[in-house]
Amino acid sequence: MAKNLQIRSGGDDVTLDVTDGTIRAADLKQIATDQGPLATYDPGLLNTASCRSAITYIDGDAGILEYRGYPIEQLAENSTYLEVAYLLLNGELPDAAQLAKWESDVNHHRLVHENAKDIISKSRYDSHPMAKLMSAVASLHAFYPGSRDIADPAEREVNMIRLLAKMPTLAAFAYRHSLGRNYVYPSDELGFIENFLSMLFKRQERHYQADERLVRAVDVLFILHADHEQNCSTNAVRAVASAGNDPYTSAVAGIAALFGPLHGGANEAVLKMLNEIGSVDNVPEFIAGVKDGKARLMGFGHRVYKNYDPRARIIKKSAEEVFQVTGVNPRLAIAQELERIALDDEYFVSRKLYPNVDFYSGLIYEALNFPPEMFTVMFAVPRTAGWVSQWQEGVLDPEQKITRPKQIYIGERGRSYSPITER
């Protein structure tokens, strides 16, 4: 294993320390080039560690995902989203008293200021719920200006809790606004997930009672989506936080990044693909088209996982449980046939293409009657646990500096301004 890296530069040997499998990019500056000190060029940060983190561990080759060292399979089997949020934020599982206090603290903060609610009401009814969510979360800083004092531990804590607590409320308001339905306020009598489902789906009944199996399925989906180390949205949160921003302002960057179809939008694309395939009989022809480069098998492949995404395996089981309540989504058979053929096909096997988290989640959301635009919102709500944990870790990390990458300048130089009449 390399302990250091020797680089011969213009006849001189330069030795760079290798720590944690990385070199310090700033150490390269001691090597001169024609264009100044040596730097790295890494569009998309494919091979650059931007922080040290103790929150989430992924081994993509082995298909391992752990939060604070706990395997995702054990958390999905035994834990709840709120307990996982506590774990991500604090590094340890809570004892019974800590969990009770945590749940009570989060549930206490679920209401939103009426004027924040009005920001959603004033949007066009057919605007994307992610756009409404982004605007409403951006407004939260205006209601809690104390959040700017990120050096104060009490301010940090209360504002992270507020954000975690209010995301489901704002998400549900954004959904109901698009349907023209009244808003349902949080209820003291309901736990975190039950309350979210009530805020989404309650109609005229006095008490909304979600099926326990659906509550558990959504809880598991939330656990699986809670964090995923330095993905695009988390990196955006950390970059905005590095300028000294509060959790609300930083989370807006995360929501914005997640909105992108390459990030949070793939589950919607899976559903579209299944609709286009139409029936199980058409699967072989579709697979042949994928191998000819005519289409991608959406919900397959991952930048990090070169093995079965451990979240996909758990979601597949959750989907079966949800369908026991909602009836089977007719597209499930198409998805299963795609998976069966792909996992046995040399094209997919040799490229290590396996189902990812998005392959089955869209089917669940559709079975719950969500329109496709809501799928990304259902990703943003639980990812808030990861965003606030990563926000806090960045704020407290003495090594973190304001994010400010270099560029390779490829434009013109030293031109003279000419008056408009002479151009």
Active site residues: 263, 302, 358
> Is 297 a residue that touches ligand CMC (CB under 6 A)?
yes
Q: Are 72 and 58 in contact (CB under 8 A)?
A: no
Of 11-19, 48-56, 237-245, 354-362, the segment contacting ligand CMC by CB under 6 A is 354-362
> Is 356 a residue that touches ligand CMC (CB under 6 A)?
yes
Of 138-146, 165-173, 292-300, 408-416, the segment contacting ligand CMC by CB under 6 A is 292-300
Least distance (Å) from ligand CMC to the CB of residue 58? 10
Least distance (Å) from ligand CMC to the CB of residue 32? 34
12 vs 31: CA distance, rounded Å: 9
**Nearest residue to ligand CMC, using CB?**
301
Of 9-17, 191-199, 238-246, 290-298, the segment contacting ligand CMC by CB under 6 A is 290-298
Within a 10 A sphere around the Cβ of 336, how many other Cβ atoms? Answer: 15
> Is 351 a residue that touches ligand CMC (CB under 6 A)?
yes
> Is 186 a residue that touches ligand CMC (CB under 6 A)?
no
DSSP 9: E
> Is 237 a residue that touches ligand CMC (CB under 6 A)?
no
Least distance (Å) from ligand CMC to the CB of residue 298? 5
Please list, in sequence order, all residues whose beta carbon lies within 8 angstroms of the beta carbon of residue 355, skipping any fewer than 6 positions away: 299, 300, 308, 309, 312, 316, 339
Binding mask 303-342 toward ligand CMC (x if CB under 6 A, else -) reads x---------------------------------------
DSSP 45: G
119 φ/ψ angles, rounded to the nearest 5 degrees: -60, -40
CA angle 140, 134, 269 (to 5 degrees): 155
Q: Which of 106, 221, 353, 368 binds ligand CMC (CB under 6 A)?
A: 353
Please say which residue, 120 or 257, places its beta carbon nearer to ligand CMC: 257
The DSSP element (H or E) to which 316 belongs, if any, is helix 310-326
Which CA distances in Å does 197 have to 176, 185, 201, 268, 357? 12, 11, 6, 20, 22
> Is 164 a residue that touches ligand CMC (CB under 6 A)?
no
Q: Which of 67, 101, 325, 328 is nearest to 197 (CA)?
A: 325
Please list, in sequence order, all residues whose beta carbon lies within 8 angstroms of the beta carbon of residue 268, skipping any fewer than 6 positions away: 261, 362, 372, 373, 375, 376
Q: Binding residues for ligand CMC, per CB under 6 A?
A: 228, 231, 263, 266, 290, 296-303, 351, 353, 356-358
